[in-house]
Chain A
């Protein structure tokens, strides 16, 4: 009888397991260290030779977090570029580490890495994963549900800041990284990568550096490629260029004709020339309480009367823009947009 009972248990449990014949789906590693992106102490983020760091002219604001970005392209493969857009080979991994210095004025005091986000191209689709770092900074673990993490730091002006930093869940990732319904990288565009960097040995245009490393091929001369302004470099770039760069990077990943905010008719890409689409004297469509009793997205000459400014300058859900990725107001970004709107031609809308 015991044998019969055992047999029933086995058969029944066997029925519980996954159906055979299904293809093994793509999976990420559970721990960040399993990829071997970094050598030695992982928290030093010192990349191995085929993991290449890159920078952006203007980054997305994420609660004042610093970001260390890397790209890994499979051996023998490379990116190509056409009309300012990048095309990535199968197996490309974009690696973005989010961290805070304890004291931005004295970076030697150390830093704390919160999370590492990966975008991996697999069967011609981008997949997303987030790894949350342990407090001891030795390992990071994959987490699909996101989390919040209390962070505290001293900024470069000596001011103490803190917030409940939001680590996105996997659907949050998708809700920003969508283009024409497909997950796509946001940051590394030709124009945003087109900048001078220091390799330690020399100052070189980053695109040429990536070319020299074999990461990009078939590149046009960099002086013929578009270049995005550095949002906080008022010496090199005009106010208009800086504001438009800021709006492109912080808003246009959703606010474009094929992005997640395509229902709004407000399109904020760097290249946008249609003033109405850019929000000039455009009434809101579905802003609800986000409109803050204001009539237009942008009222030239009057930032206080502009919904764009109002929503950037809020951190309440339902009002704050961007909707995800920040809990704090980016005061310097708001100030930039304020100055830009104040200087726009054609005062008022009515």
Chain B
């Protein structure tokens, strides 16, 4: 062997060892501990998640990964879990045999998941609980195929979190809510797309949320702002703006199709629905072709008439709701999916009565904004509803508390006092 050969071998060996040494490749990650995996290393990934330490970045290279379920259990600081692209890195939970969700994350401060697709779990796909500074970026959660009652409940599901960002995500096929932010303080949901879910995007018992630049279509209901009794937060300060909410007429395929309190109640043909929550502003949205309840402002009593008996401390009324400058159009015909849905059928029957009574002209559909009009206090506008919409936007107050006795269509009674 010549000197040159020796030199070459030495350089080659050195290079090989350097690669071995720095693999997982340092340059790929941004955190102190970077772990890179390829399909087939599912066991190693589970071990890495179980032994996770502060400042860890888990990178899943292109390909399909199969898991029963996986989880990250804190307390731990700074974790990034990411793929290469939602179309390239796919985590499949079709084999889920136990547990409540595909990927569960508990008690992480500064958690980011990005550029990845999760799909086909029996339970929820991605639940993040008791965590702070949580970011979902370019994450897809998908149940493919015909939307089905057997699909899991929630796609992207942060609950009891603080400071959540959901940006550029895509959700499909959830039998409850595609994006569901629950009992959280401070949340931003933007640039995301929800389709073929029962609820496209839902914000529940959450304080300080902004929902903007999203598209929700072909769900049962596009965007929901809900509040349940007996939970950590009373939902408040929610702004829903610049969203495109259209064609949400899909059948309600929630498992509890007529449950007391869940999204099973949402009538097929719902655009934006505000249930019970306080200080909600819905403005500058494009709301088209949601053909049962384009916009609804609804009391919890509609869902659970016994709630005050069972939970006397709960105030079921939506309060301080503002509807402003939304563009709303819809068909005069109900979607065929209202068939068999209890609350939707109530609206259909009401519509027929209004036609029969001559309150609506033949062929005229149910108005755009539905307000149940239920109030616990007396006075002209005790719930402080404020409507500042163009003349094209129609309105109906149902007087649901009094068996629909005093229905009217005059939204000027709720004209905003100040802007």
Binary contact track B214-248/A, C-beta < 8 Å → 1, others 0: 00000000000000111110000000000000000
**Contact present for B122 and A283 (CB under 8 Å):** no
Instruction: Find chain B residues with CB under 8 A from A277 CB.
Output: 230
Known: A144-B47, A289-B153, A317-B123. Is A281-B183 also a contact (CB below 8 A)? no
Of the residues A16, A263, A327, contact of B182 by C-beta under 8 Å: A263
Q: Is A285 an interface residue (CB 8 A)?
A: yes
Q: Is A235 an interface residue (CB 8 A)?
A: no
Instruction: Find chain B residues with CB under 8 A from A169 CB.
Output: 46, 50
**Contact present for A265 and B129 (CB under 8 Å):** no
**Contact present for B100 and A323 (CB under 8 Å):** yes
Q: Is B417 an interface residue (CB 8 A)?
A: no
Interface residues of A in 166-206 (CB under 8 A from B): 166, 169-172, 174-175, 178, 181
Interface residues of B in 109-150 (CB under 8 A from A): 121-124, 129-130, 149-150
Instruction: Find chain B residues with CB under 8 A from A166 CB.
Output: 97-98
Known: A144-B50, A292-B256. Is A284-B176 also a contact (CB below 8 A)? no
Which residue of the partner chain B has the closest CB to A12? B17
**Contact present for B50 and A145 (CB under 8 Å):** yes
Give bound CA distance, A174 to B264, whole Å: 33
Shortest beta-carbon distance from B411 to chain A in Å: 31
**Contact present for A349 and B310 (CB under 8 Å):** yes
Of the residues A1, A16, A172, contact of B6 by C-beta under 8 Å: A1
Which one of B8-16, B82-90, B268-276, B373-381 contacts A? B8-16
Which one of A2-10, A33-41, A79-87, A236-244 contacts B? A2-10
Which residue of the partner chain B has the closest CB to A274? B230
Give bound CA distance, A323 to B309, whole Å: 31
Binary contact track B147-164/A, C-beta < 8 Å → 1, others 0: 001101110010110000
**Contact present for A13 and B160 (CB under 8 Å):** no
Known: A5-B13, A284-B261, A286-B159. Is A276-B175 also a contact (CB below 8 A)? no
Give bound CA distance, A291 to B176, whole Å: 11
Known: A286-B180, A289-B149, A317-B123. Is A178-B106 also a contact (CB below 8 A)? yes
Which one of B68-76, B385-393, B397-405 contacts A? B68-76
**Contact present for A327 and B255 (CB under 8 Å):** no
Give bound CA distance, A335 to B260, whole Å: 25
**Contact present for B75 and A181 (CB under 8 Å):** yes
**Contact present for A316 and B122 (CB under 8 Å):** yes
Shortest beta-carbon distance from B144 to chain A in Å: 17
Tier of interface size on chain A: 35 or more
Shortest beta-carbon distance from B414 to chain A in Å: 29
**Contact present for A181 and B180 (CB under 8 Å):** no
Instruction: Find chain A residues with CB under 8 A from B257 CB.
Output: 293
**Contact present for A145 and B152 (CB under 8 Å):** no
Provide the main secondary structure of the chain A interface.
loop
Which residue of the partner chain B has the closest CB to A291? B256
Instruction: Find chain B residues with CB under 8 A from A160 CB.
Output: none
Q: Is A52 an interface residue (CB 8 A)?
A: no
Of the residues B71, B149, B153, B254, contact of A171 by C-beta under 8 Å: B71
Q: Is B361 an interface residue (CB 8 A)?
A: no
Q: Is A15 an interface residue (CB 8 A)?
A: yes
Give bound CA distance, A349 to B304, whole Å: 10
Known: A174-B73, A181-B107, A291-B262. Is A265-B228 also a contact (CB below 8 A)? yes
Known: A145-B43, A174-B73, A288-B124. Is A282-B230 also a contact (CB below 8 A)? yes
Give bound CA distance, A241 to B303, whole Å: 33
Of the residues B10, B175, B182, B304, contact of A288 by C-beta under 8 Å: B175
Instruction: Find chain A residues with CB under 8 A from B123 CB.
Output: 288, 317-318, 323
Known: A286-B176, A286-B182. Is A171-B261 also a contact (CB below 8 A)? no
Q: Is A225 an interface residue (CB 8 A)?
A: no
Looking at A287, A288, A317, the one whose CB has the most chain B CB atoms below 10 A away is A288
Q: Is A350 an interface residue (CB 8 A)?
A: yes
**Contact present for B107 and A295 (CB under 8 Å):** no
Of the residues B7, B73, B160, contact of A175 by C-beta under 8 Å: B73
Binary contact track A252-284/B, C-beta < 8 Å → 1, others 0: 000000001011010000000000110011111
**Contact present for A296 and B260 (CB under 8 Å):** yes
Which residue of the partner chain B has the closest CB to A169? B50
Known: A145-B46, A317-B98. Is A284-B262 also a contact (CB below 8 A)? yes
Which residue of the partner chain A has the closest CB to B255? A289
Q: Is B419 an interface residue (CB 8 A)?
A: no
Q: Is A342 an interface residue (CB 8 A)?
A: no
Q: Is A294 an interface residue (CB 8 A)?
A: yes
Instruction: Find chain A residues with CB under 8 A from B130 CB.
Output: 181
Instruction: Find chain A residues with CB under 8 A from B71 CB.
Output: 171-172, 175
Give bound CA distance, A178 to B75, whole Å: 11
Give bound CA distance, A234 to B149, whole Å: 40
Q: Is B311 an interface residue (CB 8 A)?
A: yes
Shortest beta-carbon distance from B50 to chain A in Å: 5
Which residue of the partner chain B has the closest CB to A281? B310
Q: Is B99 an interface residue (CB 8 A)?
A: yes
Shortest beta-carbon distance from B206 to chain A in Å: 12
Instruction: Find chain B residues with CB under 8 A from A294 CB.
Output: 256, 259
Instruction: Find chain A residues with CB under 8 A from B50 CB.
Output: 144-145, 169-171
**Contact present for A5 and B10 (CB under 8 Å):** yes
Q: 10 A–B contact pairs at CB < 8 A? A: A13-B21, A166-B98, A174-B73, A276-B311, A277-B230, A286-B154, A293-B255, A296-B260, A318-B123, A318-B153
- Interface contacts beyond A5-B6, A280-B310: sample of 8 additional A-B pairs, CB < 8 Å, sorted by A: A13-B17, A263-B232, A276-B311, A286-B157, A295-B259, A295-B260, A327-B98, A349-B260
